[in-house]
Amino acid sequence: MNHPILKIENLNFAFNKDKKILSDISFSIEKGSLCIIAGANGSGKSVLLKCIKGLLKPNSGNIIINNKNLSSNLKDRRRKIGLVFQDADSQIIGQTVEKDILFGMENLQLDSTTKQRKLLEVSTLLSLNDKLKTKPHHLSGGEKRRLAIAGILAMNPDIIFFDEPFANLDYPGVIQVLSTLLLLQKEGHTIIIVSHEIDKIAAHSQKIILLEKGKVLMEGESNIVLPHLRNHGVYVPLLDNKIKKIEELTWLNH
């Protein structure tokens, strides 16, 4: 692994003085890795992603990307971090697949040649090039999520966050999205996933960060953190009353 692409130092966030959501959050993510942020409902997972991305303003703490402190540089932070929301429909704006992928690049005021090159690259990578003229509401759930990913990927972020990427998908949709996540990592992207569906993705992760009540309870190599998840509100399937081996926690082998 290379140097940490993302380093969070003592991040705090509260909606008001009586409702603190994140308390002294610190961790680091290696470049090119796939990391899972796990925790029970209400542990602060989605709020953490929004704080790092810049959709919420932390009360204090440092957000360091590629050794640069971008805590107060919201514009650069938003460009370097892509966030794919749980509800793909909320992220799809264009009237066709092509227009949706182009939307973010147009906001960045990229030239026509660059836009067309990136459109071809991401649509081919995510197997959407035969659907460029299709209206998004005609896509399946898995295809919509891949379109949301394509729109983010076209803007060339350093890090891509996924908030519950398997939510509300049928089996084919889960396989599509899971395969896409692994393809993106293979292409060199750093992937950070908030998910309670450990059984679908844990086998492919290098690190798990466990949150509880807005604090980092544990972080480390996935196989080391995995046995502790069930005791902190995260479902991990059992086999003969024992937690499954981490290499079994994927849907790609089913």
Specify the higher pLDDT residue, 177 or 35. Answer: 35
Q: Is 253 inside any structural domain?
A: no
Domain extent at residue 161: 4-248
Q: What pLDDT score does 2 carry?
A: 59
User: 10 vs 17, 23, 71, 77, 213, CA distance in Å?
Assistant: 17, 7, 12, 17, 15
> From CA 182, how far away is CA 199, in angstroms rounded?
15
pTM: 0.91
Q: Is 254 inside any structural domain?
A: no
**Average pLDDT over every residue of 119-126:** 92
Looking at the structure of the chain, the number of domains it has is: 1
Over 90: is that where the pLDDT of 116 sits?
Answer: yes
User: pLDDT by residue (tens digit) across 33-70?
Assistant: 999 999 999 999 999 999 999 999 999 999 999 999 99
Q: What pLDDT score does 1 carry?
A: 47
Q: Is 116 inside any structural domain?
A: yes
CATH number at residue 238: 3.40.50.300
| pLDDT confidence band for 76 (50 / 70 / 90) | very high
Please count the helices (runs of H) and the strands (runs of E) in the chain.
8, 12
